[in-house]
Structure 1
Amino acid sequence: MSDCVFCSIVAEDSPAYRLYEDEHSLAFLDIEPATRGHALVVPKAHYETVTDMPNALAGAVFQTVHRVAGALESVYRLDGFNVLQANGVAAGQEVFHAHVHVIPRYRDDTVDLGWSGKPADETIQQEVAATVRDELASRS
């Protein structure tokens, strides 16, 4: 897509600190990192969200996430890491090319992922579980 910054990075028309690439995906450093080593993994083909991608491509992208996360663990003394993916404006997606954040975590970082959970309602949990199971079964 001509106006997509991530497509431009994939095409090497825009600069990026590239970390890894294969036939299906590209990993590069985020230009506004939450922490040292914060990386993005994108499919090379343009898909707006992760659920728009074919299953095989989603799998390939997450294999790259696994690879990059492992490399970050090996070279830095991480206390953990987050893998974050946002679909849509309500979820905080700002660049509408599917991408996955790999965010190294350190005990003294100031990253706040910003939600606080509340105890679940058992009736709602049962309803949601049944509805989603039925949908998943219909896709088999």
Structure 2
Amino acid sequence: MTAPAYDDGNIFARILRGEIPSHRVYEDEATVAFMDVMPQGPGHLLVVPKAASRNLLDADPAVLAGLLPVVQKLARAAKAAFAADGVTVLQFNEGAAGQTVFHLHIHVIPRHEGVPLVAHSGAMEKPEVLAENAAKVRAALAAL
């Protein structure tokens, strides 16, 4: 079965075009990272390639090659910014695997020992909290 074509109206494509605001923490020629508006923990980031890819299964290998070093950099920054004990890195492919936005993205979530992830409830975090958390990540990136 062939996967559906990429939909350039998905929310991440719209964020990349600046049609929807986001709390960006990192951007280069190929990648953008921003705060998840429905975080599963403080400091939950999304790392998104600018290239149109539904997910890992249809992404150009060159896009993937550039994406993982950025994920690593942001995982280090998020861990430092939130004095975390570890970092969860998640990536879902197709609806059956839990993907809900069909633009390749990787979740980076700082973790503290004994603190479970919050379920995605559909409730959005307050913009001021997202802005504060984004500032923490940007400061940690600058210190790397």
TM-score using structure 2 length: 0.73
Q: Which residue of 1 aligns with 2:58?
A: 52
Give distance in 2, aligned partners of 1:73 and 1:101. Answer: 13
The answer to whether 1:12 aligns with 2:11 is no
SS in 2 for 1:8: helix
10, 31, 38: which is aligned to 2:37? 31
SS in 2 for 1:51: coil
Name segments (4+ residues, structure 1) moved above 6 Å: none
The answer to whether 1:93 aligns with 2:99 is yes
Same amino acid, percent of matched pairs: 39
Highest Rg: 1 or 2? Answer: 1
* Counterpart amino acid of residue 104 in structure 2: A
SS in 1 for 2:68: helix
Q: CA deviation at 1:47?
A: 0.6
Give distance in 1, aligned partners of 2:65 and 2:109. Answer: 19
- The structure, 1 or 2, with the larger RCO (C-alpha pairs under 8 Å, 6+ apart) is 2
Name structure 1 gaps, 5 residues minimum: 114-140
* Counterpart amino acid of residue 19 in structure 2: D
Name structure 2 gaps, 5 residues minimum: 1-6, 120-144
Cα deviation 1:7-60 (Å, max 9, x = unaligned): 111111111000101111110000100010000001112110112111111011
Distance 1:2 1:56, change over 3 A: closer
Give distance in 1, aligned partners of 2:114 and 2:23. Answer: 25
Q: CA RMSD in A?
A: 1.6
How many pairs are equivalent?
A: 113
* Counterpart amino acid of residue 65 in structure 1: V
SS in 2 for 1:52: coil
* Counterpart amino acid of residue 80 in structure 2: S
Give distance in 1, aligned partners of 2:8 and 2:87. Answer: 32
48, 62, 71: which is aligned to 2:77? 71
